[in-house]
Amino acid sequence: MDPVPSATIRTVHGDARELPGVAPGSVELIVTSPPYPMIPQWDETFHRWGATDYPSMHGRLGEVWAACFRALVPGGILAVNVGDALRSGPDGFRLWPNHVDVTRSCETVGFRSLPYVLWKKPTNKPNAFLGSGFLPPNAYVTLDCEFVLLFRRGGLRRLPPKDPRRERSRYTKAERDRWFSQVWDDVPGIRQSGKGRRTGAFPPEIPRRLIRMFSLVGDTVLDPFAGTGTTLWVAHALGRTSVGIDNDPELSEALAREAARLNGDRIPV
């Protein structure tokens, strides 16, 4: 699909808790993946936020979900890709159920929970079994799913009758049957290399489905943890205006350059 002329990309170097440059009620869809609490890759990020334990990590993320709530139009959707973590804590090895705490925080700031997606990455490798041998009872079930949690600001989004953008944004029956089922087992993860190693980038198919499912051509899509910009580039290709925020200076510069290139701006030298 050709991008519509107004489908520009805006990137901002800043803090997701403040959503700089994003006006209240100006976004129809948010697609994002935050730093995951209790995953060692993100310890330093949370430490910089002053969060060193699990509740305070979710406390910081909760400030982002509150800002997201304000940024959305009534009926707008927040989609959060997050995984649980397995790690030793003060009371020993255990699960840290990030999907539960993100859900709790989102409900606390006013979101309505909607049915979510379990993203089960297909793999050729045998399960990374956590235990030894074949003797019960002390082994662990393998964490091989991530979540795509879905929330709405209030009731259904209201649109003008016969809004032509709805027809232009239509999905096929095959797409609907696949995308609206609760388990996505046909989306491989991507190799985390280069910038991706630092950002935990998700594959473009994840935002592509969510943007087609929950927004219209011409809508505005926000990613408050933009990383390598996967959400932004997919949104642009699908004719949606997009806004991305990241607080990493290096990533932000790369985002601004790619956005300028896609917007057709003169790239600053």
The residue ranges that bind ligand SAM (CB under 6 A) are: 15-16, 33, 35, 45, 199-202, 225, 227-228, 230, 245-248, 251
Q: What are the tokens at 247?
A: 């607080």
Which is nearer to ligand SAM, 62 or 227 (by Cβ)? 227
Structure tokens at 161: 């009758």
Separation of alpha carbons 105 and 170, rounded Å: 32
Rounded to a whole number of angstroms, the minimum distance from the CB of residue 42 to ligand SAM is 8
Closer residue to ligand SAM, CB minimum distance, 65 or 225 = 225
- CB nearer ligand SAM, residue 157 or residue 184: 184
Smallest separation (angstroms) from ligand SAM to the CB of 39 = 9
> Using CA atoms, how far apart are residues 170 and 176, in angstroms rounded to an integer?
10
Nearest approach, Cβ of residue 252 and ligand SAM (Å): 9
Q: Which is nearer to ligand SAM, 214 or 225 (CB)?
A: 225
- Rg of the chain (C-alpha set): 19
Q: Alpha helices, DSSP H only, in the chain?
A: 43-48, 54-71, 98-108, 164-168, 173-179, 195-199, 205-214, 230-237, 249-263
At closest approach, how far in Å is the CB of 224 from ligand SAM?
6
Task: Give how far the C-alpha of residue 68 lies from the chain's centroid of Cα atoms, to the nearest Å.
Answer: 12
Smallest gap, in angstroms, from Cβ of residue 223 to ligand SAM? Answer: 7
Q: Please, what is the minimum distance in Å from the beta carbon of residue 139 to ligand SAM?
A: 29
Give the three-class secondary structure for 49. coil
Report the residue number, 15 or 43, with the smaller CB distance to ligand SAM.
15
Which residues have a Cβ under 8 Å from the Cβ of 18 and sit 6 or more positions away? 67
Using the minimum distance from each CB to ligand SAM, give the nearer residue, 76 or 207: 207
What are the φ and ψ backbone dihedral angles of 52, each rounded to 5 degrees? -120, -10
Kindly state the tokens that stand for 212. Answer: 């087609």
Q: Which residue is nearest to ligand SAM (CB)?
A: 227
- Is the backbone peptide bond immediately before 224 cis, with ω within 30 degrees of 0? no
